[in-house]
Amino acid sequence: MIHFKVNGNAQTFDGDPEMPLLWYLRDLLGLTGTKFGCGMALCGACTVLQNGKAIRSCTKQMGTVAGLEITTIEAISAHGPHAVQKAWADVNVPQCGYCQPGQIMQAVSLLSSTPKPSDDDIDSAMAGNICRCGTYQRIRAAIKEAAKERA
């Protein structure tokens, strides 16, 4: 039996240890804000926080989550919209929106480690998150705005 936390709540798991965290969150817990895009950690749609740092939940096997604290998009706005979510709305970032929870989680992680990111910081942190609608220009602007907001 594996013990860990999701969004602050204690959870246990004794199923297939190869099951990716992504499908545990989506199918077993019903937390569908974390999206499936590629299954190979290539697109970032499934990004969640592991002890505050962005990881790809599609390649994180349940056999390796013991003791971890996982945070999903559903939890970051428990006390009103997060600064990143506010900036996303101000800049009107989303088009279809499917990749945006992953983009937002990646940006939250970036800003917690690098409160004032440069363009290069943003590029290297966000390059793993694909947006097919092509909202990158607005994502960059929103990250800068959120950084200003948090300063």
Partner 1 sequence: MISIEKITIENVSRRNFLQGLFSAGAFVLSVGKAPLLARAARNGAPVGATPTGASPSIDTTAFHPGVFVGIETDGTVYIVAHRTEMGNGVRTSLPRILADELDADWNRVKVIQGDGDERYGSQDTDGSHSVREFFDTLREAGATARLMLVRAAAQQWGIPESQCVADPVHVVSDKSSARKLGYGELAALAAKLPVPKKEELKLKSPQEWRYIGKPAPGADVSDICSGKPLFGMDVRVDGMLYAAIAHPPVLGGKVKSLDDSATLRVTGVKKTIPIDPFTTPHAFQPLGGVAVIADNTWAAFKGRNQLKIEWDNGSHAVYTSSEYKKQLQETARQPGKVIHTVGDPDAEFAKGGKIVEAEYFAPHLAHASMEPPVAVADVQGDTVTVWSPTQNPVGVQEEVAKALGLKKENVTCHVTFLGGGFGRKSKPDYAVEAAVLSKKTGKPVKVIWSREDDIKFDYFHSVAALYLKAALDETGKPKAWLQRSVFPPIGSTFDKDAVYSGAGEMSQGWNVSPFDIPNFRSENGQATAHIRIGWLRSVANIYHAFAVQSFANELAYAANRDPCDYLLTLIGSGHMVDAGAQGPPGTAEKYPYDTARLRRVAELVAEKANWGKRTFGKGSGMGIAVHRSFLTYVATVVEVEVDNAGAIRIPHVYTAVDTGIVANPEMVRQQFEGAAVFGTSIARTGEITATNGSIDQSNFFDYPVARMNDAPYQVDVHIVESTAPPAGVGEPGVPPFVPALCNAVFAATGKRVRELPLARNGFS
According to DSSP H, which parts of 36-99 are helical?
73-76, 83-90
Taking CB under 8 A as the criterion, the residue among 4, 6, 26, 71 binding partner 1 is: 26
Token digits of residue 129: 């998150």
Q: Please tell me whether residue 95 binds partner 1 under the rule CB under 8 A.
A: yes
Choose between 54 and 138: whose C-beta lies nearer to partner 1. 138
Q: CA-to-CA distance for 129 and 7, rounded, in angstroms? A: 22
Burial 30-51 (b: 16+ CB within 10 A, else e): ebebbbbbeeebebbbbbbbbe
Choose between 104 and 147: whose C-beta lies nearer to partner 1. 104
According to DSSP H, which parts of 1-151 are helical?
21-23, 73-76, 83-90, 100-113, 119-126, 136-150
Q: Please tell me whether residue 118 binds partner 1 under the rule CB under 8 A.
A: no
Q: CA-to-CA distance for 90 and 141, rounded, in angstroms? A: 10
Q: How far is the CB of 15 from partner 1 (least distance, A)?
A: 7
Taking CB under 8 A as the criterion, the residue among 7, 50, 71, 100 binding partner 1 is: 100
Q: How far is the CB of 87 from partner 1 (least distance, A)?
A: 10
Task: Please identify, among the stretches 49-57, 63-71, 108-116, 126-134, the one whose residues bind partner 1 according to the rule CB under 8 A.
Answer: 126-134
3-class DSSP state of 131:
coil
| Residues at the contact surface with partner 1, assessed by CB under 8 A | 15-16, 18-20, 23, 26-28, 30-40, 42-43, 45, 72-74, 77, 81, 85, 88-89, 92-101, 104, 122-124, 126-140
